[in-house]
Structure 1
Amino acid sequence: MQVSHTSAAVSAVFDDPNLIAQAGLVPVLRLAERCGLSRLVTEKARLTGAKNGAGAAADAKVTGIVAGMASGADSIDDLAMLRHGAMPAVFGGIRAPSTLGTFLRSFTHGHALQLHAVHRRFLAELAAHTPLLPGAGEVAFVDVDSTHKRVYGRTKQGAEYGRFKGIRTLHPLLATVCTPQSRPVIAGARMRRGKAADSRGAPKFVSEALTTAREAGCTGTRILRADSQFYNAGVIAACRRAGAHFSVTTGMNPSIKRAVLGISNNAWQQISYPTAVPDPATGELISDAEVAEIPEYTAFASRKKADRVTARLIVRRVRDLAKPAVVGEQDELFPVWRYHPFFTDQPAATLQAEREHRHHAVVEQVIADSKAGALAHLPSGHFHANAAWLTLWAMTYNLLRAAGSLASAFHAKATTATLRAHLIQVPVRIARSARRITLHPPYNWPWQHAWIRLFDTAHGPPG
């Protein structure tokens, strides 16, 4: 591929007032309106006491930030991409980046909680209007994890030297919801200071995430999955109060180590992974992973009786290959294993429960997605502004997932970057006639059928 003319024959002038670079915002923001985003902000986010009028027209400012994030903005200045060409002809209430920055900096802790309420209700509306979580009435998985986001400004509130030596971070906590047929959506997001413990505030956060999942249509079995930092009595109790199951990695504390080493060799079952290799002689899959179960293990035995929990302890063991065999030397006298236990009360069979627990890693895809998009930066020096930015990103992420589910089966599981490239960043020229605006996207756009399906569904009569 090459330029068809010499450089001397090509020129560029930024002077066309009828072009839009992100035409996908038209159906996406229409979908947000149909799901009540502006109404929810007006009802629940009351920025009383905000300075310099920052609380005025909060709905327009929230939708403006969401639109900018959907277009690829990862800083406040990037929100200026909404102020170009024919955007004012198609969208009303566009605000300058400086206005939106002032709006974010006006947030307090109470305002951040109000925005969390908007996020929860907005997810429920998206799930009601789109096939966002297929199969949620049967089984849904709620995954909880935390991440550290590096920051550079010395004056950023809450940024501290935490887990990583010499690196200042903020420490968001994240909860996602998915089904076996869907990609995850975000049920909750909380900003925390850099030195906050991984499980700080986890019991309350888990309770809210499980409630949000139910409001989003997850009326069947709900299973909380989490890593070992969330293995504590508070998290387990929150699951039981919500009527949900749990599947939490435990680590190898002395009590669990004794229980694992007491498992009979005959109790281990081989588990097959997608990368297992078939034996040429027998055809059986060769895998060094095995799984066993202790049907009744009592966790938190040193605590008071009300905090003790008896459930299943499922253990996966893999060969320890840290010291590979040396050619010419004798084989190992006995195998050395590494053990990976998790504590659960879910009803699935042992091998299925183990496979479903390992799928908890899907939450890492959401974290990676965030850091490649709107969370590439935490743009403000104010802690609560960054907390609001985090929640607005979660709302944007869910909105794009809902738009993808309307566009096509492929886009229902595509990454945010793919959704943005295929459906959002579509250039159009607008034409005005008889008080109507017609959008003219480029001829032969590869994903035009998915785009039109999204556009027609978002602008059609309510289903």
Structure 2
Amino acid sequence: MQFKHARAAVSAVFDDRNLVSSAGLVPMLRLAQQAGLAELAQHRLSVPTDKGANAGAKVTALVAGMLAGADSIDDMDLLRHGGMGKLFYRTYAPSTLGSFLRAFQFGHVRQLDGVASRVLVNLASRTPLLPAGPVFVDLDDTIIEVHGYQKQGAGFGYSGVRGLNALLATASTSQSAPVILAQRLRKGAAGSPRGAARIVADALATLRRMNTGTRVLVRADSAFYGYATVGAAIKAGADVSVTVRMDPAVKAAIAQIPEAAWTTIEYTDAIRDETTGQWISRAEVAEIPFAAFRSRKKAEQVTGRLVVRRIPDLNPRQVEQPTLFDTWRHHAFFTTTDSETMDTVAADKTHRGHAIIEQVHADLKHGPLAHLPSGIFAANSAWLVLAVIAFNLTRAAGLLADHGGRLAKATAATIRRTLIHVPARLARSARRIHLHLPEDWPWESAFARLFTATHAPPEAATS
């Protein structure tokens, strides 16, 4: 592509009061309104009146800014340009929204957690966020890097990066992209399992309100292999699939697996061995009955299966001379799933699907969580919850716009680029506002479906 008028004089003037840069906020905020975001925030948040007046409108404004790409308080100014004041009211200044967030305390953040949960349940009633089939709840944490010494709670966590620790629980099916069920911001130096049992309980409670009606499998890595987290999942009626640490009990169980029990599996794509950097495409799996947490009282011991995957040990430090037999490295996880409905190979493949939560972490860090805007811990905790609400709204919007298509599983960045960042010129006629959008917009059909779905009249009540 080249500039068409290379020799012509071009000028740029910011003088049009009828232009908006993100016309997609119109259907997105209609969707948020139908999910009850403003009403729920207004009635459930008890932020002090001097800062928390019109809490519903301020929460909606913050979510709208995140939907449009804001990753800091100053970025909320993008809601106050051109014709935005003609489309929306209460487009607050960034300073007002910042003061609102800084008034939050831990209890207010928990109230906002309740708002996020109920908004997700309401979205699920309008869109098939979790279609029929087994539901996988994935639990994992990530470090959000921060800079400077004014961030409350910042510290060096397991990654060696100075930041704050965000713990998320997501839900997905084999046909759907993940949505976020629960979230919690913690100190940077917090251990991964801290508060995980509460997050699991909250996530599964939200999932029950979504009426999925199917069996739930909670997946996690070895950091969450403990009775508190596993027990919370089982108490809520879910199965678990959790990576185990190679402690003496696990090693002893693996040693008891007969050689004939190993089944060779072939991966669809070769994978890089993390230790040696070499590519491998062969592995074997086997299982053995196992009782987890045998050091606890009998009522707290959990019986299930220990599924083990082994791969050839190609570490050159151990190959000083040829070996007489193959050596292996073992990766094991504990699961309570029924072997009749999920055999060893299927259980291993299902457990490896836990990596999908890493895509959610990356999605948030390329959006609202690129920065944590405040020095106050509770304000940053509220920012995380608002980012989760915005994320779930983009999931629902993608389904409404392109159910069964690419946008149904697209990242939030793709939804912003295709459905939200649509420039428009406002025109008035017969007391109606008309949005004049770009001709030949590549995603015109998807935008039209989203717009129609969010502006359709409510369904008639049935007697």
Amino acid at match of 2:362: A
Cα 1:459–1:43, aligned 2, differ >3 Å: closer, same or farther? Answer: same
Residue pair 2:130, 2:173 contacting (<8 A) in 1 also: yes
Partner of 2:42: 42
Output aligned runs, 1:99-138, within 5 Å. Answer: 99-135=96-132, 138=133
Shift of 1:371: 0.8
| Residue ranges of structure 1 left out of the alignment (5+ in a row) | 278-285
Task: Please tell me the root mean square deviation across aligned C-alpha atoms, in Å.
Answer: 1.7
Partner of 2:151: 156
Partner of 2:10: 10
Shift of 1:331: 5.0
Q: Percent identity?
A: 53
The 3-state SS of whatever aligns with 1:314 is strand
Output aligned runs, 1:26-425, within 5 Å. Answer: 26-47=26-47, 49=48, 53-135=50-132, 138-165=133-160, 167-275=161-269, 287-294=281-288, 296-323=289-316, 332-347=323-338, 348-408=342-402, 409-425=405-421
Shift of 1:261: 1.7
The 3-state SS of whatever aligns with 1:152 is coil
Cα 1:386–1:7, aligned 2, differ >3 Å: closer, same or farther? Answer: farther
Residue pair 1:142, 1:213 contacting (<8 A) in 2 also: no
Amino acid at match of 1:207: A
Amino acid at match of 2:397: A
Residue pair 1:70, 1:424 contacting (<8 A) in 2 also: yes
* TM-score normalised by structure 1 residue count: 0.93
Partner of 1:437: 433
Runs of 4+ in 1 over 4 A off after TM superposition: none
Partner of 1:280: none
Cα 1:256–1:7, aligned 2, differ >3 Å: closer, same or farther? Answer: farther
Shift of 1:324: 8.9
Residue pair 1:124, 1:216 contacting (<8 A) in 2 also: yes
Cα 1:115–1:227, aligned 2, differ >3 Å: closer, same or farther? Answer: same
Amino acid at match of 2:12: A
- In 2, the alpha carbon distance for the partners of 1:97 and 1:287 equals 52
Amino acid at match of 1:459: H
Shift of 1:428: 0.6
Shift of 1:38: 1.0
- In 1, the alpha carbon distance for the partners of 2:54 and 2:93 equals 13
Amino acid at match of 1:37: L
Residue pair 1:176, 1:185 contacting (<8 A) in 2 also: yes
Residue pair 2:267, 2:282 contacting (<8 A) in 1 also: no
Shift of 1:269: 0.7
The 3-state SS of whatever aligns with 2:287 is strand
Residue pair 1:139, 1:221 contacting (<8 A) in 2 also: yes
Shift of 1:115: 0.0
Partner of 2:277: none
**Aligned residue pairs, count:** 446
Partner of 1:426: 422
The 3-state SS of whatever aligns with 1:13 is coil
- In 1, the alpha carbon distance for the partners of 2:142 and 2:26 equals 33
Partner of 2:446: 450
- In 2, the alpha carbon distance for the partners of 1:84 and 1:65 equals 16
